[in-house]
Structures are given as C-alpha cells and as structure tokens.
Amino acid sequence: TQLLEQSPQFLSIQEGENLTVYCNSSSVFSSLQWYRQEPGEGPVLLVTVVTGGEVKKLKRLTFQFGDARKDSSLHITAAQPGDTGLYLCAGATGNQFYFGTGTSLTVIP
C-alpha cells in the first residue's frame, strides 16, 4: 500500500516556466519532508514541514504543508536546468518514514 501519491509522475518543461508538484495521502503525518535525487545518488533533503498550513521557501522553491497534515505541494518558480531531478516527498509516522511515488522533472534549456 502506497501511503503517499505524487502527481504528476513525469514533468518536462521549458526553462523559465513555473510548476507545482503534489503529494497526497489519506494518512496524517507528524512531519513531511521533500527530497531531491540525482541519477546514481541517494536522495538529499530539501526541506521539512511540521505544522499544518506551514509554508517554507528555499530560493525559488516554495513548500506547503496542508492544514490537516495529509498533503503537501512543491512550487518552483522560473525553473532552471539545474532543477532537473527526481523529487520525493516523505511522511513520518511513528518510527517509519514513507516515501511518495516520485516526480521526475526535466527542465529543458
């Protein structure tokens, strides 16, 4: 059972465009994290959100945690080729960390 569903699964956009990735679940999480993964490497943490409704910004990336702590979104403004990668959300419940299905982003120069 996949607790976290991400959409879209694949996204290919031109440099300079904006995009939003969604991470949805029917479960409540105590915190939610977003990771980015490059080919041949393990995921690397981008941000953690803990409070329902919380918004965090990391340069051109904006992360939001849903009010009910069941979902999250990642918005990228003016995407650049360096943003290309696999984006994964991860929810914490108890001692287990569940990952989403992933969104593969390609930004074309």
Partner 1 sequence: NAGVTQTPKFQVLKTGQSMTLQCAQDMNHEYMSWYRQDPGMGLRLIHYSVGAGITDQGEVPNGYNVSRSTTEDFPLRLLSAAPSQTSVYFCASKRTPRAGNSPLHFGNGTRLTVT
Q: Which residues bind partner 1 (CB under 8 A)?
A: 1-2, 4, 6, 9, 30-31, 33, 35, 40-45, 48, 50, 88, 90, 92, 95-102
What is the nearest approach in angstroms of partner 1 to the Cβ of residue 28? Answer: 12
How far apart, in whole angstroms, are the C-alpha atoms of residue 40 and residue 58? 24
40: left (phi over 0), alpha (psi -120 to 50) or beta: left
Which one, 66 or 102, has the nearer CB to partner 1?
Answer: 102
What is the nearest approach in angstroms of partner 1 to the Cβ of residue 108? Answer: 22
Strand-pair category, 103-108 with 10-14? parallel
